[in-house]
Amino acid sequence: PLRIRKGEEQKVEQAVAMVNDKIKEYQKMYAGKDKQDYLAMCVLMLAVEQQSLKYRDMESQQTKSDYLT
């Protein structure tokens, strides 16, 4: 089991709900796979989203830096 800090409970519950919703979506789209396949799809999707946000933030910082110079 995971140990969660008191102040992070809501964030974790929201993340669990998001993952469960995504798994249900994948189950509808790709019927016949096992739970591990759906979890892998979900992890990959979340990693791609995280990378996109990271690059978007870096580009935003670069734009701000260019504007100030």
Q: Are 6 and 17 in contact (CB under 8 A)?
A: no
Amino acid at 10: Q
How many contiguous H segments (helices) and E segments (strands) does the chain have?
2, 0
pLDDT number for residue 69:
63
Query: pLDDT 10s digit of each residue in the chain, 69 long?
Result: 789 999 999 999 999 999 999 999 999 999 999 999 999 999 999 999 999 999 888 887 777 666 666
Largest CA distance in the chain: 56
